Structure 1
Amino acid sequence: MNPHSDTLRTADGRTALRMERRLAHPPEKVWAAITDPAQIEQWFPSEVTVELRPGGAMTFSMPGVSGVAMTGTVTDADAPRLFAFTWGEDHLSWEITPDGDGSLLTLVHTFGDRFGGASFASGWHLCITALSQLLDGESTAVYPDSGALHEAYLEQFDLGQGTVEDTADGPRIRFERQLVRPADAVWAALTGGDEPAPGEPAPEGFTAEKVPGGPVTEVRASEVLAYRWHPEGTVRWELRRGTGHGPRLVLTQTGPRGFDTATALAAWHSRIEHLAARLLED
């Protein structure tokens, strides 16, 4: 189960995660394991119902959680070759091809949230590991990701880079990154345990080398902190809802035309990488 064989591609606002695994079992056996609800629930963390035909309905319910279920529609059901369906706004395609005395299983998960790619990849990595164990007749005991697998995929897919956008008010640096610890833990790491208040200097954790600090202009614990680094510029940290592992960090820096965006971009990249490494250690 080598994550380095997996790919992430984005085009026209949609992202496709592609994962391939060779399984030592014939296509018919693999087909049953990915389409039979009794087998699916042994490797996938949801109870699934499916009408196994194109246009058939699907539901996905978390065990022990009532009243909340996602729905989908089967788009392809060509046994034992192709099983595909929608899952909310996403689309999943499972293709099985004969490979010697076994099978090659190819999953393509298409979605809109590019920065959730490492979360989806690490989640499917664990699911397919459990699927392989099930096919081998072993216990499907897979340990949850501590965050290390997520971070390995994030690095592989190069999801930690920032961008510089040109706006009517000047340039804006933007980073978006999925984090691997709860928002309260991220906030504590950034504040150092001292709660900031409007008008006070921004805590060191929210600053970066070669980017001046300044007075806090907005703060909501575990959600938002913004400060003025320049009379015409603001740094803003937001911890938004994420994809399973923790909050989604969105960091922006705005400033006057002509400010050194290249230096600031590198400084913020280094700062966020340091934060991510510390969270992983914790």
Structure 2
Amino acid sequence: MNPHSDTLTTADGRTALRMERRLAQPPQRVWAAITQPAHLARWFPSEVSVELRPGGAIGFVFPGSGEPGMTGTVTDAEEPRAFAFTWGEDHLRWEITPEGDGSLLTLVHTFGDRFGAASFASGWHLCITALGQLLDDGKVDVTQDTFGELHEAYLAQFDLGRGVVEHTADGRRIRIERQLVRPVETVWAELTSGTEPLKGTPAPKGFTAPRTPPGPVSEVHAPDLLAFTTHSGGEVRWQLTPGTGHGPRLILTESGPGDFDAESALTAWQSRVDALAARLPEK
């Protein structure tokens, strides 16, 4: 199974991840592997129950999660060409095209959370690799060990780590949003270096950038949030919110007074966040 292409497009607030893979098996065998629950259980990220018809119900249960399963609706079931369904607010469409003695499998995953795209791509990369192994010889040997490396590669490919300068009612602000790949407790420990910050004390070095000396902590809720005031009267906020994949979503902002040099701030913070993200897969 060889990669063909992975692309990301965004329009009208929705993002579409498109992944293509060549498979050595004919469409009918691929169809069975992506629609029959017994086969899906070997490579899909959840257990699946499905009424294989347009309008039919489809259910997803993650083993051992202790959470109620999610449900969706089959939107397409055209054997052996197309299988599509909703999953929460997302839509997944699998297309199988004959190609020589084998098939071209195309997945289009459409969703609202653009910054989750690297997590989705990494997860599907591993799942489709397992699908290829299942079809080749029935032996699935895929682990999550490479998830962090894959995630960072997809994040770079899709240009998902770049921050922006925003114009708000209170002035200019920089904002960086980035999905991270380790648990929130690991990220917090990396930022604090093991010393828990206290309100009114200088912000730990891990929360600062070279151009932003540590000011006093104005708000702290471990392990989710730290804010501190800057010497110019602005504010830096680190928020670690629930994310996709294996870690939290980092949202970093800095705002400042009227003469706030947002472009320089963005450059400094971008370097800081990139360095943090590069270290995390090794933790």
Tell me whether 1:207 sits opposite 2:208 in the alignment: yes
Give the match for residue 131 of structure 1: 131
Matching residue's letter, 2:15: T
1:64 deviates by 3.2
Q: Is the 8 A contact 1:3 1:153 kept in 2?
A: no
Whole-Å separation in 2 of the counterparts to 1:198 and 1:143 = 42
Quickly say closer, same or farther: Cα 1:242–1:3, change in 2 above 3 A: farther
1:211 deviates by 2.2
Give the match for residue 184 of structure 2: 183
Give the match for residue 44 of structure 1: 44
Tell me whether 1:121 sits opposite 2:127 in the alignment: no
Whole-Å separation in 1 of the counterparts to 2:231 and 2:2 = 46
Whole-Å separation in 2 of the counterparts to 1:198 and 1:270 = 26
1:29 deviates by 0.7
Q: CA-to-partner distance for each residue in 1:160-191, whole Å, 9 max, x for gaps?
A: 10011101100111111111111111111111
CA RMSD, Structure 1 to Structure 2 (Å): 1.4
Q: Is the 8 A contact 2:2 2:23 kept in 1?
A: no
DSSP-derived class of the 1:227 partner:
strand
Whole-Å separation in 2 of the counterparts to 1:3 and 1:169 = 47
Tell me whether 1:272 sits opposite 2:273 in the alignment: yes
DSSP-derived class of the 2:197 partner:
coil
Matching residue's letter, 1:190: L
Q: Calculate the TM-score normalised by the size of structure 1.
A: 0.96
DSSP-derived class of the 1:18 partner:
strand
Identity across the alignment (%): 70
1:54 deviates by 0.6
Q: Is the 8 A contact 1:4 1:156 kept in 2?
A: no
1:2 deviates by 6.6
Give the match for residue 152 of structure 1: 153
Give the match for residue 193 of structure 2: 192
Tell me whether 1:14 sits opposite 2:7 in the alignment: no
1:66 deviates by 4.6
**How many residues are aligned here?**
282
Matches within 5 A, 1:195-274: 195-274=196-275
1:102 deviates by 0.5
DSSP-derived class of the 1:136 partner:
helix
DSSP-derived class of the 1:109 partner:
strand
Could you list the runs of 5+ residues in structure 1 that have no partner in the other structure?
Answer: none
1:244 deviates by 2.3
